[in-house]
Amino acid sequence: MPLVKQGRLTTDLFVHVADGAELPGDGAVLVTAERFLADPEALLRRGGKVGVIWPNNRNLDDLVPHLDRLASVALVFPTFRDGRAYSQARLLRERYGYDGELRATGQILRDQFVFMTRAGFDAFEVKKDADADAFAQTMKRYSVFYQPTGDGRVTALNRRMQLRHSESAGQ
Amino acid sequence: MYAYDELDRTLINERVSEFRDQVKRRLSGELTEDEFKILRLQNGVYLQLHAYMFRVAIPYGTLSSKQLRRLAHVARRYDRGYGHFTTRQNIQFNWIKLAELPDALSDLAEVGIHAMQTSGNNMRNVTSDQWAGVAPGEIEDPRIWSELIRQHTTLHPEFSFLPRKFKIAITAAEHDRAAIKIHDIGLRLHKNADGETGFEVLVGGGLGRTPFIAKTIKPFVPGRDILSYIEAILRVYNQYGRRDNIYKARIKILVHELGIEKFAKEVEEEWKAMGDVGLTLDHTAIEEVRSRFSYPAYEKLPHMPDELKQAAHDKLFERWRKNSVSAHKVQGYSIVTLSLKPVGGPPGDATAEQMDAVADLADKYSFGEIRVGHEQNLALPHVAKRDLPLLFKALDRLGLATPNVNLVTDIIACPGLDYCSLANARSIPIAQELTRRFANHDTADLIGRLHINISGCINACGHHHVGHIGILGVEKNGEEFYQITIGGRADENAQLGTLIGPAVPYAEVADVIEDIVEAYLALRDRPEELFVDTVKRLGVEPIRERVYATR
């Protein structure tokens, strides 16, 4: 599956390790929340980077204490109509200050890229090659945003007020 | 009117190009129908029995004459020459072709109209009082807040894939014309003891197969905090609303299952935890939006102009005036309701010719402004009283002066089995038959205010639960049957109706309704006692006895 990271098609350095499967000796791994929480210390002591796949119906409380030692958090969209992970993403970025990789997994289409980026995702396991190829193009679709999120894009309302301010300052 | 600026226009155009790409990918097979379904629904496109249906938003029910003409153009160019106004300040076109949709959207975008989020599991068109800004005694114009919320909820990156659809309505008047208590969030603008403007926030109202009247979650949220408070409600709902069963996914079920206290506590905790996330609306921000609403330059006019005195001899005019003309906050002006409920016609439909003509009349008599109400009628909000006689003549010629506003033939009905793929039974022919039964306007006047609401299935798009008389189409052994409730209402005293008896077959519905009305006329204690008040005073039983005694 193509991975888009920081706007570009990238080789995925993380290996998805299924529950019960043996961990590779080194290298980056993505493990399930159950596996991670069963023994976080053992996993984090390993040589390689660790990422956790966090289900969209689980409260973030158990994940939060480990955030600063995780290299990736992967949130799940079982179907693209299930939008719970958007809230989790914003909470991780905006409330808990997580600044590592935030990965979207599941049914990811180009039509979600803008929403996901605005919610804080920066890595995307994209379902279709054509959508992955269209990432940069798709991100240019919108230039106006009505609501503030942690992504720092200036809202329409703020742009208007800035404009008004600069107009009145120029008089 | 709210004037779109360059940013609003840009966003709508960007949405049109995105949708054009989505349609293109569907037509080329790049998107499966399953994938496309969600995407088209986010832009108001349903697949109905015979064709695609296209729903266009009329935010808070305000239209300019230019916009209405463009809707007429869409009806003519892309559809079959008419449109259907809905109970949520939208207009629907029933015969649109998928390949032409992007062009229709693009034509609408030129006048600042869109179809964003008019369907799908996201935040729908924000609705309000169709008399906003002109109703006497209003706290302030609720459309300022409707527009702030409209912007905030448009293409929201967190809440575009909610468990289910989400509807917000706002009222600022004592009498609720926006039906806020049957919305996911209902907002009632009022002032607190310190004179500060804010909202009573209600949550969890809704109809459908499990109807609930909304409950107050917080009696006062200051205006500056309303966006963050709504954000907190939505975040709780997005995470905890049920996604396992489409019929249990609305916020009303979450509120019901948790209980309003527990739900309110969750929201309060989330709201507190949010802190300052740039959602507080300071004075400048509110004024920024307020400044782009323009109001007519009203003249100083007499309360009772000569034209009105002279026309008082005309019985037809007087009947229409008493029925369809309402008090305006400015002396010398009136609010005029245009009935889209002609005898024998489908409720809420307007032809392209009617739309064009209404746009012309709005230019001539109403400062170019038209309103759309949830009862599926139109209104001209700023008519000088001296112009009423001429306006009446013009509306009468167009078939838009039926003096039945709020009367028994002012029926709310969904499209029903004539169009809708969800329906079990027809709605429109029932409405048409009832308008013929009660076609005599003297009889209708004698009966007084009486709202009949008809839905063709349990999804309740025709708001049957809150009709003074509610009619619900069901299917029994392949035949259309109708359950009848009485005593419902959608206003500030909103209540669900009570079933009056066993379901009746299609052919008997109009007879039963006539009997119910007759029973009411016999039982009311004075002519001023409205149907709903008689039902409230006596309960359902005395009416049931009279109606079902011979059945």
Residue B112 zone, left/alpha/beta (φ > 0; ψ -120 to 50; rest) = left
Q: How sure is the predictor about A1, in pLDDT bands with cuts at 50, 70 and 90? A: confident
CA dist A122 and A130 (Å) reads: 19
The predicted structure's pLDDT at residue B49: 84
- ipTM score for this prediction: 0.96
Smallest CA-to-CA distance from B108 within B140, B64, B151, B164 is with: B64
Q: What is the pLDDT of residues B157-205, one digit of tens each?
A: 999 999 999 999 999 999 999 999 999 999 999 999 999 999 999 999 9
Give the strand pairing for B90-96 and B325-327. unpaired
In chain B the domains, ranked by start, together with CATH numbers, are 6-109 (3.90.480.20), 142-290 (3.30.413.10), 306-398 (3.90.480.20), 412-548 (3.30.413.10)
Residue A69: how many CB atoms within 10 A of its CB? 13
Would you call A148 and B279 a contact, using CB atoms and an 8 Å cutoff?
Answer: yes
Interface of B with A in 218-237 (CB under 8 A): 235
Give the nearest partner residue to A149 out of B10, B157, B274, using CB atoms.
Answer: B157
> Two tokens at A8?
């570009």
Give the strand pairing for B325-327 and B333-338. antiparallel
The predicted structure's pLDDT at residue A170: 60
A45 touches chain B (CB under 8 A): no
Average per-residue pLDDT in chain B? 96
Angle between helices B260-274 and B226-240 (to 10 degrees): 120
Would you call B11 and A118 a contact, using CB atoms and an 8 Å cutoff?
Answer: no
Output the CA–CA distances (angstroms, integers) from residue B236 to A58, A167, B148, in the order listed.
Answer: 13, 40, 21
CA dist B276 and B278 (Å) reads: 6
> Two tokens at A140?
């240019």
Q: Residues of B with CB below 8 A from A147's CB?
A: 151-152, 156-157
The predicted structure's pLDDT at residue A147: 96
Give the nearest partner residue to B278 out of A87, A114, A148, using CB atoms.
Answer: A148
Give me the phi and psi of B470, to 5 degrees please.
Answer: -110, 140
Q: Residues of B with CB below 8 A from A87's CB?
A: 158, 235, 238-239
A82 touches chain B (CB under 8 A): yes
Inter-chain contacts counted by CB atoms under 8 A, chains A and B: 94
The predicted structure's pLDDT at residue A163: 86
Q: What is the pLDDT of residues B290-318, one digit of tens each?
A: 999 999 999 999 999 999 999 999 999 99
Residue B180 zone, left/alpha/beta (φ > 0; ψ -120 to 50; rest) = alpha
Contacts of B396 (CB under 8 A, 6+ apart): B316, B320
B43 touches chain A (CB under 8 A): no
Flag whether pLDDT at A167 surpasses 80: no
Which strands form B82-85's sheet, in the order they lie side by side?
B45-47, B52-57, B90-96, B82-85, B349-351
> Two tokens at A96?
């808990």
> Two tokens at B520?
């009411």
Average pLDDT over residues B104-130: 97
Q: How sure is the predictor about B3, in pLDDT bands with cuts at 50, 70 and 90? A: confident
Would you call A81 and B121 a contact, using CB atoms and an 8 Å cutoff?
Answer: yes
Residue B213: how many CB atoms within 10 A of its CB? 21
Q: Residues of A with CB below 8 A from B157's CB?
A: 86, 114-116, 118-119, 147, 149
Q: B362-395 burial, b if ≥16 CB within 10 A, otherwise e?
A: bebbbbbbbbbbbbbbbbbbbbbbbbbbebbebb
**Residue B474 burial (10 A CB sphere; 0-12, 13-18, 19+):** middle
**Could you tell me which chain A residue has the CA closest to the CA of B13?**
A142
CA dist B167 and A65 (Å) reads: 37
Flag whether pLDDT at A171 surpasses 90: no
Average pLDDT over residues A144-165: 92
Q: What is the pLDDT of residues B491-547, one digit of tens each?
A: 999 999 999 999 999 999 999 999 999 999 999 999 999 999 999 999 999 999 999
> Two tokens at B188?
């009632």
Q: Selecting from 1.20.1260.10, 3.30.1360.170, 3.20.20.70, 3.30.530.20, what CATH number does the domain A3-140 have?
A: 3.20.20.70
Give the nearest partner residue to B238 out of A83, A115, A141, using CB atoms.
Answer: A83
> Residue A127, CB half-sphere, CA atoms under 13 Å: how many?
18
Give the nearest partner residue to A156 out of B151, B161, B162, using CB atoms.
Answer: B151
Q: Is the separation of the CB atoms in B173 and B137 below 8 Å?
A: yes
> Two tokens at B53?
């249906």
Would you call B289 and A157 a contact, using CB atoms and an 8 Å cutoff?
Answer: yes
Q: What is the pLDDT of residues A75-118, one digit of tens each?
A: 999 999 999 999 999 999 999 999 999 999 999 999 999 999 99
A163 touches chain B (CB under 8 A): no
Q: Is the separation of the CB atoms in B129 and B139 below 8 Å?
A: no
Q: Is the separation of the CB atoms in B80 and B419 below 8 Å?
A: no
Helices vs strands, H then E, count in chain B: 18, 21
Q: What is the pLDDT of residues B372-430, one digit of tens each?
A: 999 999 999 999 999 999 999 999 999 999 999 999 999 999 999 998 989 999 999 99
